[in-house]
Amino acid sequence: MERILSVEDLSVEIGGEYIIKGLSFDVKKGEILTIVGPNGSGKTTLLKTLLGLLPYSGKIRWSKDIKIGYLPQRLSKDRFAELPISIGEFFRFKSKNDDKILNMLEDVGLGGGREILKRNPGELSYGQFQRMLVAFSLIDNPDVLLFDEPTSGIDIGGEETIYSLLREFWMKKNLTIFLVTHDLNIVYAYSTNCLCMCKTKFCYGSPKKVLTPESLQDIYGTEIKFYEHTHK
Amino acid sequence: MSLITGIFISAIAGYIGSLMITKRMALVAGPLGHLALPGVALALIYNFGIFFGALISIFIGAVFIWIFSLRAKIPIEALTAIVFATGVAAGFLFLPLEHAEEALIGDITDVDLSDTILAMFLSTIIFLVIRKIYTKIVLSELSEDLAKSIKVDVDKYNLIYLISIALVAAMEVKIVGILLTAALVAIPAAASRNLSRNLKQYSFLSSVFGVISAIIGILLFRITGMPAGPLIIMVAFLLFLISTIFCKNR
């Protein structure tokens, strides 16, 4: 498979402190890379750096003409509710084509006619809101998706929906997905590769290889009781 | 002529006010207006345009705040308080007493053709510029990272937006005076917020409410002889009260 991203000796320094130091990894087209690690381990910083939003040293090489979609952490539904902005207006940041917007919304399970374009995103339930954001990140047909904890604040049922939705689009559109998550089940169930981060320590490889009890203890500092379980 | 000037300035104040409420900056126009006092005082003494006096002194005040923020670890909000209060103090040192009312609450009758043309020209330019970046600023307010990730130059648009606010505040001094600049951006936009379901309605109604306040306020001034600036704002407040009755958002 063709390589879509190569990161070499990446370091990010914020306020005189290294958030990421000496990180190297490659991502191939069509991979689902999960990024795990404790709070403050630099996961969000890594995504922002890959997007070019933060200064860094080292090398980040995306393959040519790659379009990246991004869903930041904790986009607040309440913030949307404070503004008189309609779902249609929100999507028109990216696409002027209402039919395309409606199709996309239907694909994430928010169908039901043009009325939805007039509603405020704040009126949706958390699960619906998150699905709307997934639709927003997909509407301009990106090649790569960077998702920062897309399921925070959603109950388990809603979480399932989001991940199966992502998987569905991943297969249908030949996407490459970077997924920051705290949920180790997701890492096993969905990812092709896993990057486990803790500031200056990293491990990278297939989930089975990376998430051993020893490496988890090393990264999280305490013994994590997590056992691989197969569903078949 | 005063009516036309009032209409243009209050329309653009309402329009940009809708963005300022979105960014939780409605009060900023207050200190900016106050900062104008030294320049307004000079303009009244040496008989040049109040707008230019106001603009120069707002600009100098903003530069001071900026320099202090680079050199001291004091929050911008406190620096603004220091600079704007000092500006007001400095203004009163040499503000001719017979002009005090005009400086503080505005004097719409003192508008000539050049003022009107300037107001029309500037309001139109600011409207066209802000309309182009309006939704981008809203997006960056919802999530700066998201906006940056779709290549919205957040810093550039914020700068344009801030310069526009300074220009609007300087224009406002003419009709509502240095004391009341916050009202003209905050009240019509808040009334509009109560009644709007989307950004288009919101920004449009903000301007409309600004214009209605100006027209009725100036008419009342012609009838009663009370000062126009405060009348415009009382009308705006009345519109706001009515809008809370018909409020669509809870």
In a domain, A226, yes or no: no
Q: Is residue A159 part of a domain?
A: yes
Q: How many CB atoms lie within 10 A of CB A220?
A: 16
pLDDT (0 to 100) of residue A225: 58
* Alpha helices (H) in A120-204, listed in sequence order: 126-138, 156-173, 184-190
Tell me if chain A has a CB within 8 Å of the CB of B196.
yes
pLDDT for position B187 = 96
> Rounded to an integer, what distance in angstroms lies between the CA atom of residue A110 and that of residue A88?
13
Q: Is residue A96 a part of any domain in this protein?
A: yes
Handedness of CA B146, B149, B152, B153 (dihedral sign): positive
Instruction: Name the least confident of B24-28, B80-84, B219-223.
Output: B24-28
| CB-CB neighbors (< 8 A) of B143 in chain A | 72, 75
Q: Is B24 left (phi over 0), alpha (psi -120 to 50) or beta?
A: left
Task: State residue A14's pLDDT score.
Answer: 85
For position B119, what pLDDT does the model report? 92
Assess if residue A188 is contained within a domain: yes
Domain membership of residue A87 as a residue range? 3-220
CATH of the domain at A102: 3.40.50.300
Instruction: Quote the CA–CA distance of A203 and A147 in Å, as a whole number.
Output: 20
Confidence of residue B23 (pLDDT cuts 50, 70, 90): confident
Q: Is residue A121 part of a domain?
A: yes
- Cα–Cα distance measured from residue A177 to residue A182, given in angstroms and rounded to the nearest whole number: 16
**Is A230 contained in some domain?**
no
B73 and chain A: CB distance < 8 Å anywhere?
no
Tell me which amino acid residue B206 is. S
A231 in a structural domain = no
Cβ atoms of residues B164 and B154 within 8 Å: no
User: In this structure, are residues B185 and B25 in contact, taking their beta carbons and an 8 Å threshold?
Assistant: no
A119/chain B closest Cα distance in angstroms: 8
Distance, in Å, from the CA atom of A137 to the CA atom of A144, rounded to the nearest integer, reads: 10
**Does pLDDT of A7 surpass 60?**
yes
* A123-150 per-position pLDDT tens digit: 888 888 888 998 999 998 899 999 888 7
| C-beta atoms of A89 and B198 within 8 A | yes
Confidence of residue A162 (pLDDT cuts 50, 70, 90): confident
Report yes or no: B22 at the A interface, CB cutoff 8 Å: yes
> Per-residue pLDDT averaged across B95-100, rounded?
86
- The encoded tokens of residue A23 equal 């990180």
Buried b (16+ CB within 10 A) or exposed e, A34-50: bbbbeeebbbbbbbbbb
Q: Which residues of A touch B139 (CB under 8 A)?
A: 93
Given pLDDT bands bounded at 50, 70 and 90, which one contains residue A232?
A: very low
Whole-model pTM: value is 0.84
Number of domains making up chain A: 1
pLDDT digits (tens, 9 = 90+) for B102-148: 888 888 887 888 889 999 999 999 999 999 999 999 998 888 888 88
What does the buried/exposed string (b/e) look like for A155-183 if buried means 16 or more CB atoms within 10 Å of the residue's CB?
eeebbebbbebbeebbeeeebbbbbbbeb
- Tell me how close the Cα of B59 comes to any Cα of chain A, in angstroms: 30
Is the pLDDT reported for residue B162 higher than 60?
yes
Contact B149 A86 (CB under 8 A): no
Q: Which residues of chain B make contact with A53, given a CB cutoff of 8 A? A: 145, 148-149
Q: Which of residues 87-146 of B touch A (CB under 8 A)?
A: 135-136, 138-139, 141-143, 145-146
Confirm whether the ipTM is greater than 0.85. Answer: no
Domains of chain B, first to last: 2-245 (1.10.3470.10)
Residues of B in contact with A51 (CB under 8 A): 145, 148-149
Question: Which of the four pLDDT bands, split at 50, 70 and 90, describes residue B235?
Answer: very high
CA-nearest of B179, B231, B240 to B209 is B240
Alpha helix (H) residue ranges in B143-177: 144-149, 154-176
Alpha-carbon dihedral of residues A7, A11, A15, A17, nearest 10 degrees? 140
Say whether A85 and B138 touch across the interface (CB within 8 A): yes
